[in-house]
């Protein structure tokens, strides 16, 4: 049974995978250029987009290249001509694009990448965790993580509008868990094209190399210091990097504004646009997670509350820029925070855990924070893992034991013969 056969025509609801939700959003965003190379588990995104182009549903150029590096380079070139540009990738595909990611950010090209998250080798794995998503955190891109297929669809429109805002001009990643969302069928409320067009107007780019009457340079070599000329001064590398940092910081206001506009127009809200909350009104303990881990947490919140715990969930939606001010304000009076990461900050602990600790540094009477690693390489994140982690955190908190020791749930060292 296909996504077209299962649909509520009156409400325009279709059952579709996360990959196809992303592709449908690209089509309705009227993307002008897509350059891509296939990689599991994102391949159905660009396959579906190519079908839309073939069938005349999307007027766009599809560039099939020999690698993800070339795909990212082509996206940068196409964006510099003033086109709305997007692609999709996963894991080592994103890593092969890595050289081009800071170029896109530094040149302020509003490209959108859909990332079906996947673990990174070695050893080789095609299953899900957040390793690839985390690896892109320091290249200057805005990064969203989605929790279900509806959020994938909705976030793509917001991502293009945010990236293309003249106050921002920063490329953006829209991520979602490989297989758990990329290949899972869910109902998705689709919007009318005219309403999407009203929300997302055509791109008015600050760069447009399609005008060949003027010679322009994009991403030229710069120097350590400001260069003074008769016609004006040219920034040095330091000033360019500072400008990107300030744009990322200031983009939080735009992200909230665009989210609120989308929510008002289409009736779907994702918290404050930066993070979502669940059962937090009376909670003194918070579970902090993102993506598929948050989805699993929701299944056990009631069970933990039946134990008498005042506990809720904060799901991080915006990973970069990290919404420090808003998290500090929301979490400042909480007693305990239990963090579940689906990636390791190698040599330290879970990335979400130490990022949150840094964000809350200096808060008066800060909450006790304890982090755990779960679900690497596609291993199931079970409700029991969440419950055991919460109990472990409470035990440490009660004893006053503050520790950064990396701890794991779902790890099965006792089943390995070579460790005997």
What CA–CA distance (Å, rounded) separates 290 from 312? 14
Task: Please report, in tens digits, the pLDDT of each residue of the chain (420 residues total).
Answer: 344 444 455 679 999 999 999 999 999 999 999 999 999 999 999 999 999 999 999 999 999 999 999 999 999 999 998 999 999 999 999 999 999 999 999 999 999 999 999 999 999 999 999 999 999 999 999 999 999 999 999 999 999 999 999 999 999 999 999 999 999 999 999 999 999 999 999 998 877 666 666 656 666 788 888 888 777 788 889 999 999 999 999 999 999 999 999 999 999 999 999 999 999 999 999 999 999 999 999 999 999 999 999 999 999 999 999 999 999 999 999 999 999 999 999 999 999 999 999 999 999 999 999 999 999 999 999 999 999 999 999 999 888 888 878 899 999 998 887 655
- Residue 296: per-residue pLDDT: 96
Q: How far is CA 17 from the centre of its chain?
A: 17
What CA–CA distance (Å, rounded) separates 384 from 362? 33
What CA–CA distance (Å, rounded) separates 217 from 209? 9
- Residue 5: per-residue pLDDT: 42
Query: Among candidates 339, 330, 326, 166, which has minimal Cα distance to 256?
Result: 326
Assigned token pair, 146: 């989605």
- Residue 219: per-residue pLDDT: 67
The CA–CA distances, whole Å, from 352 to 197, 320, 331 equal: 36, 12, 15
What CA–CA distance (Å, rounded) separates 112 from 307? 44
Predicted model pTM? 0.94
Q: Which domains are delineated in the chain?
A: 7-199 (3.40.50.970), 275-419 (3.40.50.920)
Collapsing DSSP to helix, strand or coil, 149 comes out as helix
- Residue 212: per-residue pLDDT: 64
Give me the residues paired with residue 59 across strands.
none
């Amino acid at each position: 049974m296909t996504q077209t056969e299962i649909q509520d025509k009156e409400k325009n609801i279709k059952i579709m995978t996360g990959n196809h939700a992303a592709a449908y959003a690209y089509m309705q965003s009227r993307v002008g250029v897509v350059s891509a190379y296939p990689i599991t588990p994102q391949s159905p995104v660009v396959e579906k987009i190519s079908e839309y182009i073939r069938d005349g549903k999307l007027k766009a150029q599809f560039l099939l290249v020999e690698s993800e590096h070339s795909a990212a380079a082509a996206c940068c070139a196409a964006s510099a001509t003033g086109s709305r540009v997007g692609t999709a990738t996963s894991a080592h595909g994103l890593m092969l694009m890595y050289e081009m990611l800071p170029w896109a950010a530094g040149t302020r090209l509003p490209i959108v990448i859909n990332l079906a998250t996947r673990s990174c080798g070695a050893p080789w794995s095609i299953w899900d965790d957040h390793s690839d998503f985390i690896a892109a955190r320091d290249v200057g891109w805005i990064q969203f993580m989605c929790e279900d297929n509806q959020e994938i669809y909705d976030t793509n429109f917001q991502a293009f509008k945010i990236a293309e805002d003249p106050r921002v001009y920063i490329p953006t990643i829209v991520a979602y868990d490989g297989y758990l969302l990329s290949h899972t069928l869910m109902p998705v409320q689709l919007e009318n094209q005219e309403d999407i067009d009203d929300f997302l107007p055509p791109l008015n780019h600050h760069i447009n190399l399609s005008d060949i009457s003027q010679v322009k340079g994009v991403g030229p070599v710069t120097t350590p210091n400001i260069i003074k000329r008769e016609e004006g001064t040219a920034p040095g590398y330091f000033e360019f990097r500072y400008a990107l940092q300030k744009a990322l910081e200031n983009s939080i206001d735009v992200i909230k504004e665009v989210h609120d506009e989308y929510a008002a127009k289409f009736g779907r809200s994702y918290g404050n646009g930066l993070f979502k909350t669940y059962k937090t009104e009376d909670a003194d303990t918070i579970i902090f997670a993102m993506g598929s881990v948050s989805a699993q947490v929701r299944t056990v919140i009631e069970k933990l509350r039946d134990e008498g715990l005042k506990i809720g969930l904060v799901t991080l939606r915006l990973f970069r820029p990290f919404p420090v001010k808003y998290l500090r304000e929301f979490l400042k009076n909480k007693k305990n925070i239990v963090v579940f990461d689906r990636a390791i900050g190698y040599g330290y602990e879970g990335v979400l855990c130490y990022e949150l600790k840094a964000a809350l540094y200096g808060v008066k009477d800060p909450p006790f924070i304890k982090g755990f690693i779960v679900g690497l390489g596609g291993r199931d994140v079970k409700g029991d893992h969440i419950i055991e982690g919460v109990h472990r955190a409470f035990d440490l908190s009660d004893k006053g034991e503050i520790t950064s020791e990396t701890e794991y749930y779902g790890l099965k060292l006792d089943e390995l013969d070579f460790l005997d």
